[in-house]
Amino acid sequence: MLRAAIIGVGNMGRNHARVLSEIEGVELVAVADKHAEANKNGKRYWKRFYTDYRKLIENERPDLITLAVPTIHHHAIGLAVLKARIPLLIEKPLAYTISEAEELIAAAHKHKTLLTVGHIERFNPAVQELQARIKAGELGRIYKVKASRVGPIPPRIQDVGVVIDLAVHDIDVFRYLIGSEPVRVYAETAQRLHSHKEDLLAGVIKFADDTIAYLNVNWLTPTNIRQLTITGEKGLFVLDYLDQRLQFYENVASQEEKSQHIVEGKMIRFKIAKREPLRNELEHFIDCVRKRTQPLVTGEDGKRVLEIAHMLLRSAKEGRVVHE
C-alpha cells in the first residue's frame, strides 16, 4: 500500500484527492492547505489535515506527494518535498520562473527523487490515440497545428495570466506530437477583464522541422472550447479534448506520387475509450513510483514548456519575433 499526500486542496487539489482515494493500492493519508476551511470540502477523502505542509512532510513521510498550490509557491514547497526525497508531481506549470524550474530539476537530480509535471493533456485518451496514429505515419509530414483553448475567466487564478496558466497545455502537446523544438515565436497578448494579467493570446510558433503552430487562447469566451487541428500531407486530424473525440479528413491526392493537389476523401471518426485524464496521469505517476521508472512528462519537459511560454510573453511585450 502506497501512502499518498496532497499539498494544496483547492479546486484541482480536491480532484486529486477524489481520484487518489479511488485508486486501489493507494491510501491518501493526509493533505495540507494553509486555509483551514479547505478541510470541510473534502475530508471524506483523507485521514489527516494540516495547515503547514512542513508538518505533513515531517509527521507523515508519505511515499508520494502531489502539489496543487498557486504557481508562485511551487518552487519553495517543491524544494522541501524533493529535499525529503519524496516523489513529487507538480501541477503545471513546473514553476513561476525558469530559474526556479532549473532549481527544482537540480534538486530532483541531487536527491535522486522522481519529479514529474502535471501536463494532463498528454494523458487524454484522444491525444494518446492521435500521437499513436501520427507515429504510425497516418498523417505523413505535419504542416500546421492549431490549438483553441478558450473559456470564461477563472476568478481563482491571480498569480499568472493566460499564457502560463492555459497556453502551456498546448505548448506541451505541440512538442509531444510534433517531436521538434521551436526556433522562433511571435505573440500578441491583451488584458481585457483580468485585473493585472493578460487574458488573451494569439501566438505563432515555428518549429525546427518547419511545422507552424498557432495558439488561440483566452479567458474571454462564454463557453469552454478545447480543440486541436493538425494538417499534414495525408489529411487533417480534428481533436476535441473535452469530448475526447478524434476525426480524420483524408486527402485522397496524397496517395498519388508527387501529387500537388488536395482532394477531399472520406471522414473517419475513431472510437476512443473515454477515461478521465487525471486518473490516467495519477496512475502513471504511481506506477513510476512503484517501478522507479522515468515519467512520461519529466522536469526537463516542464522547464522547456515554461521557456517557450516566456518567449511568447517576451515577444508580446517587445512587439517582435523572438528567436530561440
Q: Is the dihedral of CA 96, 163, 160, 62 positive or negative?
A: negative
Residue type, 293: T
CA 154 to chain centre: 17
Q: What is the DSSP letter of 192?
A: S
CA 34 to chain centre: 25
Percent of the chain with pLDDT over 90: 90
Percent of the chain with pLDDT over 70: 98
264 confidence band (pLDDT: 50, 70, 90): confident
Do 2-120+278-297 and 122-274+308-323 agree at the fold level?
no
Does the pTM surpass 0.85? The reply is yes
List the domain boundaries for the chain.
2-120+278-297, 122-274+308-323
- The answer to whether residue 191 scores a pLDDT higher than 90 is yes
Mean pLDDT, range 55-71, rounded to an integer: 97
Mean pLDDT, range 92-108, rounded to an integer: 98
Mean pLDDT, range 137-159, rounded to an integer: 91
262 confidence band (pLDDT: 50, 70, 90): confident
113 confidence band (pLDDT: 50, 70, 90): very high
Give pLDDT tens digits for 268-320.
999 999 999 999 999 999 999 999 999 999 999 999 999 999 999 999 999 99
194 confidence band (pLDDT: 50, 70, 90): confident
Residue type, 255: Q
Q: What is the 3-state secondary structure (H, E, C) of 23-83?
A: CCCEEEEEEECCCHHHHHHCCCCCCEEECCHHHHHHHHCCCEEEECCCHHHHHHHHHHHHH
Mean pLDDT, range 120-142, rounded to an integer: 98
> Tell me, what's the pLDDT at 261?
66
147 confidence band (pLDDT: 50, 70, 90): very high
> Tell me, what's the pLDDT at 286?
98
- The answer to whether residue 259 scores a pLDDT higher than 90 is no
Joined grid coordinates for residue 222: 462564454
> Tell me, what's the pLDDT at 265?
85
Mean pLDDT, range 66-89, rounded to an integer: 97
- The answer to whether residue 236 scores a pLDDT higher than 80 is yes
Which residues lie below 8 Å from residue 285, measured CB to CB, with a gap of 6+? 64, 66, 87, 89, 116, 295
Average pLDDT in the chain = 95
Cis upstream peptide for 222 (omega within 30°): no
Q: What is the DSSP letter of 181?
A: -
CATH code of 2-120+278-297, in short, is: 3.40.50.720
Fold of 122-274+308-323: Dihydrodipicolinate Reductase; domain 2 (3.30.360)
> Tell me, what's the pLDDT at 41?
78
Helices (H), 240-298: 277-291
User: CA 95, CA 118: separation in Å to the nearest integer?
Assistant: 12
